[in-house]
Structure 1
């Protein structure tokens, strides 16, 4: 008996059906970018971070000055910090790019000074912790940006500000991308460009710290020690 119901394959099937007539779903979605700050807006908020003693703000400052991701820097352990070489060795387990090797992050003079101070008072294996047992939550930096500094931006936005600065100041593109722990070029380029360009990145990150901290106490103390 014909009840007026459709019989046959599902007309809404995508593969080898609707895909022949409609654009792919990913092209129909509106792209939204994480909000970032202008360089001046970022610099205006740095004094608050350097003066506030809450460990969460120290962590946030560390993330900004290293241009790294929350998942990477919130869980840092002291064993990852090489004070002699002024390097933070980010383990493969926290690398977003999935590479099975340590990523070396150069630490500016100001960051080394801050870490030395924190180390003297630390009772934990973690650099940034409130209870000496667990690292602060990876969501903490974003929460502090929103609730503490009243800024509508994310850590990704901070990284974007850094990348814009690199472009505006003529920093080599590959050095800038490697500073953000990004892959560079296609597979052929990556196969030949294996160096992490540590010393080139060290110069960039020192200039970044100098720019953001030039009017703050950490920098003043450092200059006094060197004079």
Structure 2
């Protein structure tokens, strides 16, 4: 039977000369004393068929009692069939790999931003993409590694604004999900995305649509449509012309304000807006949007003065595109003038708010749904809304432009009060 080493006391440890000294308590536990003041713990033991010398740390940072405890734990691992040295190598390799994968959330935002910018429309939408991230997410998540972000971290960002700024919060959630998906694909995190909605946040947050309390843009009531058209037609200038064209086409004000003659084919009676064009709100990955031009629209376009220095269809007097505020102010001016003349103005039926240019799209949708027999999808296509599921969208190659031409002619007849409206 091998001789057992004497169990040394802490005081005896301090008196040891340079060399390797068994300290007892656990077979093979030694204190290695170097020339000078360096001392460290060493466990000499057999691992399988190999003799191993396993370092347990420096003395006196690790005292005698802790060294004996660690030695006993290592020997227990060996008895269970594990090699502590190989385990350390694996753990060290995993740590190095994790450090290489480590990516701060703020850095992930910086890396993903140019990727996202490629699919965004230009102008303010691209410039303002990260505003909500900077305001609400970066202060809380910025210095966290993306691999450490979990559901509770996402909730810390979203819950304070989910009920009060629901639209902003929902858009922010989508951005967080995209950034974390990007980090996963790049190898910086593993596991499910804590910002995904379905089966995740949907279980702990109310649906955005039930929380936001959003209403549509204030719209001109159908009973006031012809009265409004008459008031608008009495005004000259590019602003009223642009608002008339936007009303007839039921397109977004931004799409009209930045419309160019290069997009117009008067012979084919088509206006084509390319994906990603400024203020069109058409994602870059989508197909171009075509608008059938009716007789009223063509007559309006043919009557417009052109500016030699610009290709814009509707241009501001001082050059460049009309501002969004110009059209909104024009509609409000018409409303106030009608009130002064003893009229009721032009307000939304539900909210009583003054109508805005974007609201003409709602007016068109109500007309098409409640006052015509046109198919729902036809009016949705006219509004540039996506139709059906992603699978249905993949097979929907036609934009039904000729069918829409007849519908838009009927809409123009209704708005202008033409015979047969």
Q: Give the alignment's TM-score, normalised by structure 2.
A: 0.44
Match of 1:40 in 2: 223
Cα gap change, 1:75 to 1:200, in 2 (>3 Å): same
The Cα of 1:44 is off from its aligned counterpart by 0.9
The structure, 1 or 2, with the larger RCO (C-alpha pairs under 8 Å, 6+ apart) is 1
Of residues 122, 145, 155, the one that matches 2:357 is 155
**1:108 paired to 2:294:** yes
The farther-off stretch of 127-136 and 20-29 is 20-29
Match of 2:317 in 1: 131
The answer to whether the Cα contact below 8 Å between 1:49 and 1:61 also exists between their aligned partners in 2 is yes
Match of 1:54 in 2: 237
The answer to whether the Cα contact below 8 Å between 1:177 and 1:184 also exists between their aligned partners in 2 is yes
Q: 2: distance between equivalents of 1:164 and 1:38?
A: 9
1:73-98 CA distances to partner (integer Å, 9 max, x unpaired)? 11111111111011111121234241
Q: 1: distance between equivalents of 2:236 and 2:153?
A: 55
Match of 1:166 in 2: 368
Q: 1: distance between equivalents of 2:202 and 2:326?
A: 45
Q: Which has the higher strand share?
A: 2
Match of 1:3 in 2: none
**1:195 paired to 2:398:** yes
Q: 2: distance between equivalents of 1:162 and 1:190?
A: 23
Match of 2:329 in 1: 143
Q: Give the alignment's TM-score, normalised by structure 1.
A: 0.79
Give ranges in structure 1 of 5+ residues lacking alignment: 1-12, 220-227
Cα gap change, 1:14 to 1:81, in 2 (>3 Å): same
Q: 2: distance between equivalents of 1:115 and 1:29?
A: 39
Match of 1:10 in 2: none
The answer to whether the Cα contact below 8 Å between 1:71 and 1:138 also exists between their aligned partners in 2 is yes
The answer to whether the Cα contact below 8 Å between 1:145 and 1:154 also exists between their aligned partners in 2 is yes
Give ranges in structure 2 of 5+ residues lacking alignment: 1-151, 160-200, 337-345, 347-353
Cα gap change, 1:42 to 1:101, in 2 (>3 Å): same
Match of 1:87 in 2: 270
How many residues in Structure 1 have an aligned counterpart in Structure 2? 203
Divergent runs of 4+, >6 A: 16-21
Q: 2: distance between equivalents of 1:41 and 1:16?
A: 46
The farther-off stretch of 170-179 and 126-135 is 126-135
Q: Which has the larger radius of gyration?
A: 2
The answer to whether the Cα contact below 8 Å between 2:327 and 2:357 also exists between their aligned partners in 1 is yes
The answer to whether the Cα contact below 8 Å between 1:174 and 1:184 also exists between their aligned partners in 2 is yes
